[in-house]
Amino acid sequence: MLTHSHFARLFLLAIGGFGLYLAFFGNPEGGIALIPCPVRSAIGIPCPGCGMTRSCLALAQGEFVSAWNFHPFSFFLVALAVGVGFFPTASRSLWNRLSPTARGLFFFSLVALCLGRWIGHFFD
């Protein structure tokens, strides 16, 4: 049975593997396209998560400024994957100690920040 920690480790393994590939062989001409954004493909505008894959790959290569410019939430995503993947008991214990109100506020804050960043792109 796959658990959250298994998925987190698979995510980190995939990002690390692609990062190593890009570090040794470089970016192919035109960049690397792993998963096209279905929102951008359907309606022509980027979704709030656009740039996350490129950002995670830049993080895996140690290009922190590029990662931040692609999508700043990748830092949180990778940190969350490390916590859940390698410290599942501690991360679950921390989450369970939070009240339902605090969990909801935390989740709502992340969504609001991500949407705010996305809306900000339209005014650049």
At 19-77, the pLDDT tens digits run: 788 777 776 665 555 677 788 888 888 888 888 888 888 888 888 998 898 888 999 98
d(CA 46, CA 29): 22
- What's the distance, CA 55 to chain centroid? 7
Tokens of 104: 């909801």
- Looking at the structure of the chain, the number of domains it has is 1
Range of the domain at 90: 4-121
Q: Above 90 in pLDDT, residue 118? A: no
Q: Above 80 in pLDDT, residue 85? A: yes
- The pTM assigned to this predicted structure is 0.76
The pLDDT, as a whole number, for residue 29 is 61
The pLDDT, as a whole number, for residue 65 is 93
The mean-pLDDT minimum among 12-16, 22-26, 116-120 falls in: 22-26
